[in-house]
Structure formats: C-alpha cells, structure tokens
C-alpha cells in the first residue's frame, strides 16, 4: 500500500521455565535451547526484509529473541520500549500446576472478582492504549513505506490485535492466536490501523501441546 507503514509485532521464543512459574515481568527468564533456535530461525526469516526500525520489550526473553535479527540489520539501533512489556499480573511468581492450585488460594480470591477488567492484573484497556501508542510510534519511526519490527509478549500483542479488529477485549486465554515467535503485522496509514495479518514462521518448531492449543484461531 503506497505510503503505508507496516509494524510487525513478534512474540518472543520459548522460555527456559522447567518449574512452570508464571514469570510475567520477573527478571532472569531467558530463552530455552528451543527458544534460541526459534530466534535464530526468525533472524534468517527477517534477513532479507527491508526493515527500517527495531523496537523491543526490555525483558530478557524479548531481547534474546530480537538479537539474531538485529545482528542481520547492523545499521538499525534497537529502541527499548516499556510500553510493549508483558502485562502486570498479581499471580506473577506462582506455579499453577495441573490442578491450578494457585486459583484455590483464598488470598487470591479477591483478585479474581472481575475477569472482564481483569481484576488480577493490568486492565485490558490500559494494555491496549500503551500498545497502540508504541505501534503508532514505531510506524512513524519506520517512515512512509517502511517496515518496523517490535518484539513483545502474547497478551499485549493479542489485545492490540483485538482493538485493531474492533473486537471485545474479553476472551479465553486458551484461544489466543499468538504462538511463540508468531508475527502479527499491523498496516498503518495516516495514523490508523488499516489491516492486520498473522503468520507463524516457525510453526514446525512449536511444542505439540502448543500446536493443539492453537489449532483453531479466534
């Protein structure tokens, strides 16, 4: 589209997390061996794309996912952006386990009183606002006809997409169409999102459970 900019928002790769902690914004959670393979594969995927701007969440897993791509675009600086960070969550640091024990903790009942907001973390509308601002700024930085790459996290990406598609923020987290290292691309023209596309360039590397989980998109 003439003069339109494209902002590709990529989710990070698989994280090393053997105990199943809900890590959220906690430090020290980098990519697993598979996650590093995903990131390297994405570096090759973006190698011949004429990117004009790079932007990244400050969290370790996002930075490690961006690194192979940035290495192939040495003329571009990575802009750190707190607005594309993971959503705040009161369950951060907890382990749910197969029986979701954290959800039965009486101390957490108050945080589950309103799933529409949601009451256990950062309101969806706030996530949407900061992601929108970051995406539009990335489009400006990319320039007319340019392409920006932003590395972010599942929930913020999904909420940004739902807003762009004029859908309710309320959703089933199990049905988010935003797999590891997937790319949600926003076409921006005159400061407005005029199109959204989705791709899974490393689908063959996704764990089997993830493939089943996202078999049907929403």
Q: Which residues contact 67 (CB under 8 A, 6 or more apart)?
A: 39, 43
Residue 131 has pLDDT above 70, yes or no: yes
Distance CA(128)–CA(112), nearest Å, equals 21
How far is 7 from 38, CA to CA, in rounded Å?
Answer: 20
Q: Where are the domains of the chain?
A: 5-86+123-213
State residue 105's pLDDT score: 67
Flag whether pLDDT at 212 surpasses 60. Answer: no
Strand partners, 53: 148
Sheet holding 5-11, edge to edge: 78-80, 51-56, 147-152, 5-11, 183-189, 192-199
Q: Which two tokens stand for residue 188?
A: 């921006």
5-86+123-213 is a CATH 3.90.110.10 domain: no
Secondary structure of residue 198 in the 3-state scheme = strand
CA atoms 153, 200, 180, 208: torsion sign = positive
In this predicted structure, the answer to whether residue 176 has a pLDDT above a threshold of 60 is yes
Residue 196 has pLDDT above 80, yes or no: yes
Query: Concatenated DSSP letters for 21-51?
Result: B--TT-TT--B-HHHHHHHHHHHHHHTTS-E
Any alpha helices (H) in the chain, and if so which ranges?
33-46, 60-71, 124-142, 154-164, 208-213
pLDDT (tens digit per residue) in 81-124: 999 999 998 778 888 766 666 666 666 655 566 666 776 689 99
pLDDT of residue 89: 80
If you average pLDDT over every residue of the chain, what do you get?
A: 89
- Number of helices and strands in the chain (H, E): 5, 6
Q: Is the pTM of this model over 0.85?
A: yes
Identify the CA nearest to 27 among candidates 92, 80, 78, 84: 92
- β-pairing, 183-189 vs 147-152, is unpaired
pLDDT tens per residue across span 43-78: 999 999 999 999 999 999 999 999 999 999 999 999
Check if the beta carbon of residue 70 is closer than 8 Å to that of residue 76: yes
């Amino acid at each position: 589209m003439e003069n339109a900019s494209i902002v590709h928002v990529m989710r990070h790769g698989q994280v090393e997390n053997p105990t199943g902690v809900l890590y959220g914004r906690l430090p020290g959670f980098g990519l697993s061996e598979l996650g590093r393979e995903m990131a390297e594969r994405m570096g090759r995927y973006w190698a011949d794309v004429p990117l004009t701007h790079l932007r990244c969440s400050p969290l370790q897993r996002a930075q490690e996912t961006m690194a192979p791509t940035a290495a192939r675009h040495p003329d571009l600086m990575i802009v750190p952006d707190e607005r594309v960070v993971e959503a705040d969550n009161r369950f951060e640091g907890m382990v749910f386990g197969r029986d979701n024990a954290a959800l039965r903790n009486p101390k957490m009942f108050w945080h589950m009183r309103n799933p529409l907001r949601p009451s256990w973390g950062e309101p969806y509308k706030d996530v949407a606002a900061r992601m929108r601002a970051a995406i539009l700024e990335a489009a400006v930085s990319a320039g007319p006809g340019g392409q920006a790459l932003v590395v972010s996290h599942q929930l913020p990406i999904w909420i940004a997409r739902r807003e762009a598609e004029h859908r309710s923020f309320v959703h089933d987290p199990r049905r988010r169409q935003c797999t590891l290292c997937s790319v949600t691309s926003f076409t921006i023209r005159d400061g407005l999102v005029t199109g959204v596309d989705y791709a899974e360039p490393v689908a063959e590397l996704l764990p089997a459970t993830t493939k089943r989980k996202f078999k049907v998109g929403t």
